[in-house]
Amino acid sequence: MGAAPLDDASFIADHRTHPDSAFSRVLDRGFVELLDTLGDDRRCVAAARVSLRRDQKSLVDDSEAQMKRDQGLLHRLMADRHTSPFEHAIFQFRVRAPIFVVRQWFRHRFASYNEESGRYIKLEDEFFLPERLRERVGKAMDYTYADMAEPENGQTLDEIEALYEQARGLYERLLERGVAREHARMVLPVAQYTTFFWTVNTLSLMNFLNLRNSPHAQEEIRDYAVVIEDMFAAHMPWTHAAFREHWGPSAIR
């Protein structure tokens, strides 16, 4: 099962679209690639200043004194929840993730999405298989998760993998019989990998990180949120620092 090479170098060579893009593998066969950005910390500050018809020095003056003023204003904006200036910096990602993760992701409505089409293309033979299954421990409303012990873990994963093979086999047979792709895909599990474009402004990105880089989020989407937060911090270090200072510390680090 699964056509994608799993060693890092060949996986990256296969999936990264540009040699300089920020790219991180996630889960067993997923990834996040930062394709492009528009604006940065100081562009958001410039957007805020326009409201008072103030000069736009943050667009042109790179002196230390100006930078300090800009950073101070940016922290103030975040602390006061004056959020609209952060809509003026934009991130564009390419993401590959299992459908059950993407289903949670697409609940974040303030973003633009395009996903590969199971109607028009044959889906790839790629399903998410964790190394360790989680068990729910404790009572309803008061439970935690724990790794399933061996040998149950390995035995159960074998059963899941057998189901993936069966489902994939049926998918292929349905296509051979002439069943339309849009119907044949019905038999595939939600562990099926898919790829999508995600273009999101910084305010909505922070909302996503607040909810998904959190212990309350499912671990698999959190794994994506962690690498996205690193990419965000690398591109907009002032905004990221102010976000974590004023919207609460990161759940992860």
Ligand X SMILES: Cc1cc2nc3c(=O)[nH]c(=O)nc-3n(C[C@H](O)[C@H](O)[C@H](O)COP(=O)(O)OP(=O)(O)OC[C@H]3O[C@@H](n4cnc5c(N)ncnc54)[C@H](O)[C@@H]3O)c2cc1C
Interface residues toward ligand X, by CB under 6 A: 107-110, 204, 207, 211, 216-217
Of 56, 52, 4, the C-alpha closest to 31 is 4
Provide the residue count of the chain: 253
Least distance between ligand X and beta carbon 81 (Å): 12
Please state, as a whole number, how many other Cβ atoms lie within 10 Å of the Cβ of residue 244.
Answer: 19
To ligand X, the closest distance from the beta carbon of 32 in angstroms equals: 18
Give the residue with the Cβ less far from ligand X, 107 or 177.
107
Return the number of the residue (194 or 204) whose C-beta is nearest ligand X: 204
Q: How far is the CB of 83 from ligand X (least distance, A)?
A: 10
CA 111 to chain centroid, in Å, comes to 12
The string of DSSP codes covering 141-209 is TEEEEEEPPTTHHHHHHHHHHHHHHHHHHHHHHHHHTT--HHHHGGGS-TTBEEEEEEEEEHHHHHHHH
Cα–Cα distance for residue pair 6/4, rounded to 1 Å: 6
Nearest residue (beta carbon) to ligand X: 109
* Shortest distance (Å) from residue 197 CB to ligand X: 16
Q: Could you give the CA distance from residue 186 to residue 167 in angstroms, rounded to a whole number?
A: 10
From the candidates 185, 212, 222, 244, give the one annotated as an active-site residue: 212
Query: Has 244 been annotated as catalytic?
Result: no
Residue closer to ligand X, measured from CB, 51 or 112: 112
Q: Which is nearer to ligand X, 211 or 241 (CB)?
A: 211
139's enclosing H/E stretch is: strand 134-139
The residues that are catalytic are 212
